[in-house]
Structure 1
Amino acid sequence: MPASPSTARAINDRLALRFLQQEGPLTAGQLKQLTGLSRPTVADLVDRLTAAGLITVVGESGEQRRGPNARLYGIVADRAHLAALDVRTGGVSVLVSDLLGGVLAEASVPIRGDTGTGPAVEQAVTLVERAAKEAGAASLHTVGVGAPGLIDPATGELRDSSGLPEWHRRLVTALQERLPARVIVENETNLAALAEQREGAARDRDTFVLLWLGHGTGAAVVLDGALRRGASGGTGEIGFLPVPGTTALPSATDCEGGFHSLVGAAAIAELARTYGLSIDGQADGPAAAALVRRAVRAVAGRGAEDDRDAGAGGDIGGGGDAVPDEDTASAFLDALAGRLAIGAASVTAVLDPGCVVLGGEVGQAGGRVLAARVQERLVRMSPLPTEVRASALGGGAVLRGALLTARDGAQDDLFAPPAR
Structure 2
Amino acid sequence: MPASPSTARAINDRLALRLLQQEGPLTAGRLKQLTGLSRPTVADLVERLAAAGLIAVVGEAGERRRGPNAKVYGIVADRAHLAALDVRTEGVAVTVADLVGRVLAEASVPIGGDTGTGPAVEQAVALVERVVKEAGADRLHTVGIGAPGLIDPAGGELRDSSGLPEWHRRLVAALQERLPEARVGVENETNLAALAEQRDGAARDRDTFVLLWLGHGTGAAVVLDGALRRGASGGTGEIGFLPVPGAAALPSSTDCEGGFHALASSAAVVKLAALCGVPVAAEEEPSLVGVVRAATCAVRSAVGLVGEGASHTVEAGSAARFLDALADRVAVGVAAVVAILDPGCVVLGGEVGQAGGEELAGRVQRRVARMTPLATEVRTTALGGGAVLRGALLTARDRAQQELFALGERPVPGW
TM range (shorter): over 0.9
Flag the 1:218–1:414 CA change in 2: closer, same or farther, 3 A.
same
Structure 2: segments with no counterpart, 5+ residues: 409-415
Are 2:208 and 2:345, in contact at CA under 8 Å, matched by a contact in 1? yes
Q: How far off its partner does 1:242 sit?
A: 0.2
What SS does the corresponding residue of 2:149 show, helix, strand or coil?
coil
Flag the 1:283–1:61 CA change in 2: closer, same or farther, 3 A.
farther
Structure 1: segments with no counterpart, 5+ residues: 311-320
The reply on whether 1:374 has 2:364 as its aligned counterpart is yes
Aligned residue in 1 for 2:277 = 276
Q: How far off its partner does 1:417 sit?
A: 7.4
Aligned residue in 1 for 2:135 = 135
Aligned residue in 2 for 1:262 = 263
Are 2:369 and 2:375, in contact at CA under 8 Å, matched by a contact in 1? yes
For 1:415, which of 385, 390, 405 is the aligned residue? 405
Written as runs of structure 1 = structure 2, the 5 A alignment for 1:5-404 is 5-65=5-65, 70-179=70-179, 180-280=181-281, 287-301=287-301, 322-404=312-394
Flag the 1:280–1:301 CA change in 2: closer, same or farther, 3 A.
same
Letter in 1 for 2:281: D
> What is the CA deviation profile of residues 228-257 of structure 1, one whole-angstrom value per residue up to 9, with x for unaligned ones?
000000000000000000111100000001
Letter in 1 for 2:220: A
Query: Does 322-331 or 122-131 show the bigger shift?
Result: 322-331
Partners of 1:138 and 1:280 in 2: CA distance: 45
Q: How far off its partner does 1:3 sit?
A: 2.8
What SS does the corresponding residue of 1:83 show, helix, strand or coil?
strand
Are 1:265 and 1:288, in contact at CA under 8 Å, matched by a contact in 2? yes
Q: How far off its partner does 1:324 sit?
A: 1.0
Flag the 1:304–1:102 CA change in 2: closer, same or farther, 3 A.
farther
Letter in 2 for 1:221: V
Are 1:239 and 1:260, in contact at CA under 8 Å, matched by a contact in 2? yes
Q: How far off its partner does 1:282 sit?
A: 5.8
Partners of 2:100 and 2:203 in 1: CA distance: 22
* TM-score between the two structures when normalised by the length of structure 2: 0.94
What SS does the corresponding residue of 1:62 show, helix, strand or coil?
coil
Flag the 1:80–1:303 CA change in 2: closer, same or farther, 3 A.
farther
Q: How far off its partner does 1:281 sit?
A: 5.8
Letter in 1 for 2:113: G
Letter in 2 for 1:269: V
Partners of 1:323 and 1:340 in 2: CA distance: 24
Q: Percent identity?
A: 76
Q: Which runs of 4+ in 1 moved over 6 A?
A: 302-307
Partners of 1:97 and 1:306 in 2: CA distance: 36
Q: How far off its partner does 1:62 sit?
A: 2.9
* TM-score between the two structures when normalised by the length of structure 1: 0.93
Q: How far off its partner does 1:342 sit?
A: 0.2
Are 2:63 and 2:69, in contact at CA under 8 Å, matched by a contact in 1? no
Flag the 1:302–1:214 CA change in 2: closer, same or farther, 3 A.
farther
What SS does the corresponding residue of 2:74 show, helix, strand or coil?
strand
Partners of 1:175 and 1:401 in 2: CA distance: 19
Letter in 1 for 2:86: D
Partners of 2:230 and 2:135 in 1: CA distance: 34
Aligned residues: CA RMSD: 2.0
Aligned residue in 2 for 1:313 = none
Q: How far off its partner does 1:109 sit?
A: 0.8
Are 1:10 and 1:417, in contact at CA under 8 Å, matched by a contact in 2? no
> What is the CA deviation profile of residues 140-192 of structure 1, one whole-angstrom value per residue up to 9, with x for unaligned ones?
00000000000000001100111001000010011111112001110000000
Flag the 1:208–1:388 CA change in 2: closer, same or farther, 3 A.
same
Partners of 2:187 and 2:145 in 1: CA distance: 6
Flag the 1:373–1:137 CA change in 2: closer, same or farther, 3 A.
same
Letter in 2 for 1:30: R
Are 2:194 and 2:221, in contact at CA under 8 Å, matched by a contact in 1? yes
> What is the CA deviation profile of residues 376-396 of structure 1, one whole-angstrom value per residue up to 9, with x for unaligned ones?
000000000000000010000
Partners of 2:6 and 2:154 in 1: CA distance: 31
Query: Does 210-219 or 55-64 show the bigger shift?
Result: 55-64
Partners of 2:407 and 2:68 in 1: CA distance: 27
Letter in 2 for 1:191: L
